[in-house]
């Protein structure tokens, strides 16, 4: 199932992320698509805040991965923007992360093509005028409307 939502600003993008937290199962693979500055990390920040994470939340552009734990639930936030080759995912042990009972959020998943499995949820953010268009293909994970 694919749905589209217009998000007026960063606050609306974070709010969508917060709602997403309440809908996703404990184990899911989410790909976040969009150009630089489209709001992928903002969406993740909203999700992480709703999960109870405090402190600075930034894109793991240089670290490639940030790991969070809350209430015995694991969340891995990947940013593959700087990957030169999808094979680098094997060097960082991508299978070890994906095989855990965890929520895995991956920005720039196209950089891992051929190594990454199919996502449970695909989210595409596109800037439009002063806001963002969010398109979500969730394979029936998100049953309720926003």
Number of DSSP helices (H) and strands (E) in the chain, helices first: 4, 7
Q: For residue 110, what pLDDT band results from cuts at 50, 70 and 90?
A: very high
State residue 58's pLDDT score.
75
Return d(Cα 29, Cα 104) in angstroms, integer: 5
Of residues 19 and 144, the one with the higher pLDDT is 19
- Kindly calculate the radius of gyration of the chain based on its CA atoms and give it in whole angstroms: 14
Give the integer Cα–Cα distance in Å for 17 and 3.
15
Candidates 3.40.50.300, 3.40.50.720, 3.10.129.10, 3.40.630.30; CATH matching 7-137? 3.40.50.300
Tens of pLDDT along 18-61? 999 999 999 999 999 999 889 999 999 999 999 999 888 877 77
Over residues 53-80, the pLDDT tens digits come to 988 887 777 678 899 998 889 999 999 9
71 — alpha (psi -120 to 50), left (phi > 0) or beta? left
Task: Write the DSSP assignment of 78-108 as a string of letters.
Answer: EE-TT-S-TTHHHHTTHHHHHTSSEEEEEET
**Dihedral angle computed from the Cα positions of residues 131, 46, 117 and 81, in that order, rounded to the nearest 10 degrees:** 70
Q: Where are the domains of the chain?
A: 7-137
């Amino acid at each position: 199932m694919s749905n589209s939502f217009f998000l007026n600003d960063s606050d609306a993008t974070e709010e969508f992320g917060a709602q997403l937290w309440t809908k996703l199962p404990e184990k899911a693979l989410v790909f976040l698509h969009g150009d630089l500055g489209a709001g992928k990390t903002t969406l993740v920040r909203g999700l992480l805040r709703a999960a109870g994470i405090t402190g600075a939340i930034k894109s793991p552009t240089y670290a490639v991965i940030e790991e969070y734990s809350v209430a015995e639930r694991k969340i891995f936030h990947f940013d593959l923007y700087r990957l030169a080759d999808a094979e680098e995912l094997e060097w960082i042990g991508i299978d070890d992360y994906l095989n855990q009972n965890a929520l895995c959020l991956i920005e720039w998943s196209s950089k891992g093509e051929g190594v990454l499995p199919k996502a449970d949820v695909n989210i595409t953010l596109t800037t439009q005028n002063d806001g963002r268009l969010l398109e979500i293909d969730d394979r029936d994970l998100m049953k309720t409307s926003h």
